Chains A and B, each alone.
Chain A
Amino acid sequence: MNAGQFLTIFISAVFIYNVILSRFLGLCSFVAISKETKPALAMSLAVMFVTTMSSIITWFIYRFLLAPFNLSYLRTISFILVIAAFVQFVEMVIRKVSPAMYRFFGIYLPLITVNCAVLGVAVLNIDMFFVDNRAVPGSFWYSAFQGVCVGLGYTLAMLLMSGIRERLELCHVPKAVKDFPLAFIIASMMSLAFMGFNGFRL
């Protein structure tokens, strides 16, 4: 475990293999909710929280249940169930603890269950930080950190995109490409710009 590894995870998860612009995870929510900045930010924060927590939870499940008993083929089923249950739980807690926050996040939380980014980062952690069903040294911290960084990458893309789309509201965009098509084309250009970080090394 060293600091360089963490920096590599950060740069690669946020810029090079950005969840949305490069791995295409969470694309549906990205085009649907990025029309205005405020909801986009709320959604991003919720996603960041859930990716982090689910990275941690699924790591424990894989390390102490699936790997030792050779049940890794149950990975998909168990992860999606745990994520769904966790999201449901968070929703209930937020509703009890802070109604204001519930109104802020409420409608976005259930959507997160089917957000590919959450399951995606869980599966990715297992693929990257487990070799032959054995955790590599520091794998827990790498997984948790990758969860945070994927959330950050999602937030960055959402924030930029929502700003751009708010500005486009004032533009005379050709009707055929309004909304979805243009959102994809902008995402394509952002992806081109982020290619500047390709081959990053210290």
Chain B
Amino acid sequence: MKNNLLVSAAPHLHNKESVSKIMWLVVLSLLPVGAAGVFIFGVSAFRVIILATASSIVTEGICQIISRRKVTVLDGSAALTGILLAFNLPAQAPWWLPAAGAIFSIAIGKQIFGGLGQNIFNPALAGRAFLMASWPKYMTAFTAPLNYDAVTSATPLALLKEGHALQNISYLDLFLGRRGGCIGEVCVAALLAGAAFLLLKGYISWHIPLTYISTVGVFSYCFGGRGLFSGDWLFAILSGGLILGAFFMATDYVTSPLTSRGQVVFGIGCGLLTAVIRLWGGYPEGASYAILMMNAATPIIDRYTKNRVYGYTLKAYE
């Protein structure tokens, strides 16, 4: 009733979309990825996903009760953060790892900034970076694909970093996810299916994923090989967490730029940082760090790419 008495600013559009609905649809689009992860790595992957999601929702509720805000644990955002965090963990993670990561993601990554829509950094990636810095031993113990006896194997990128040749892994293996890695990053086919759904429904735009992925491809092609212009660009695109990051993490509404121009800058920045860390950094994969760094730069990007207000010159608007 109260809302009906307020005059809101134009445009007065009515639409069935709500934040909560979009969040749950993104969760839906991630279902095939989760299913693929469980198929590839076994039940332990399912356990990690459930633990991370449940801990996220519980943490969100506790934080909201403590800070006397409205409790909105079922709006899907906490669940989404938990699922994305779980997708960034290895399947054999001990039970407290997803829980600790989810608590950090929600409490420090999101609620301390004021909750939904106010955070600066992608909560799931902040949680992953925290876990990576805290317990690197558990974060890099990956299980071999389709082998449920907890045999550990390195990711293709880690093998490459250590200077091993990649012989028995084909592009098809990479595309379908027959490789070691985090739960949600291995099956590119499922990721692309979910991403296509989001793109078609218009929940994410093509700017960030396209510029991000193509920058990584071009950079790897130019500098990734033995000489110039001889890098394996397809391998660079299909391996690591690039596809997961580009479609589901970098496109987070809250932590990426608002305008399409800004998003292009953001995507290219993410791509350059990812490729540079992969080629010369100490870690085999740089997607999560690249996105976090660009998250930090998002307010500055927004500032310099904001659209001109009709009737103003850019200078006068400053």
A and B touching (C-beta < 8 Å)?
yes
Q: Footprint of B on A, CB under 8 Å?
A: 37, 159-160, 163-164, 166-168, 171-174, 177, 182, 185-186, 189-190, 192-202
Q: Chain A interface secondary structure, helix, strand, loop or mixed?
A: helix
Cβ-defined contact, A198 with B281, below 8 A: yes
7 contacts between A and B (CB under 8 A): A160-B297, A163-B300, A167-B299, A174-B114, A182-B112, A185-B112, A196-B292
Cβ contacts under 8 Å, B283 to chain A: 196, 198-199
Cβ-defined contact, A197 with B299, below 8 A: no
Decide if B244 is an interface residue (CB 8 Å cutoff).
no
Given A163-B300, A167-B299, A200-B282, the answer on whether A172 and B121 have CB atoms closer than 8 Å is no
Decide if B65 is an interface residue (CB 8 Å cutoff).
no
Given A160-B300, A172-B115, A177-B112, the answer on whether A189 and B290 have CB atoms closer than 8 Å is no
Decide if B289 is an interface residue (CB 8 Å cutoff).
yes
Counting contact residues on chain B (CB < 8 A from A), the size range is: 35 or more
Please report the C-alpha to C-alpha distance between residue A185 and residue B119 in the assembled complex, in whole angstroms.
12
Interface string of B142-153 (1 = CB under 8 A from A): 000000000000
Distance in angstroms from B298 CB to nearest chain A CB is: 8
Distance in angstroms from B225 CB to nearest chain A CB is: 16
**Contacting A201 at CB < 8 Å: which of B112, B126, B273, B280?**
B280
Report the number of A-B residue pairs with Cβ-Cβ less than 8 Å.
94
Residue of A nearest to B304 (CB): A163
Cβ contacts under 8 Å, A185 to chain B: 108, 112
Q: Which of B61-117 contact A (CB under 8 A)?
A: 67, 108-109, 112-115
Distance in angstroms from B254 CB to nearest chain A CB is: 10
Please report the C-alpha to C-alpha distance between residue A167 and residue B297 in the assembled complex, in whole angstroms.
11
Distance in angstroms from B218 CB to nearest chain A CB is: 20
Decide if B286 is an interface residue (CB 8 Å cutoff).
yes
A160, A182, A194: which has the most chain B beta carbons within 10 Å?
A: A160
Q: Which of B255-302 contact A (CB under 8 A)?
A: 273, 277, 280-283, 286, 288-290, 292-293, 295-300, 302
Cβ-defined contact, B280 with A200, below 8 A: yes
B130, B288, B296: which has the most chain A beta carbons within 10 Å?
A: B296
Please report the C-alpha to C-alpha distance between residue A163 and residue B67 in the assembled complex, in whole angstroms.
26
**Contacting A192 at CB < 8 Å: which of B113, B292, B298?**
B292
Please report the C-alpha to C-alpha distance between residue A134 and residue B105 in the assembled complex, in whole angstroms.
49
Decide if B129 is an interface residue (CB 8 Å cutoff).
yes
Cβ contacts under 8 Å, B286 to chain A: 196
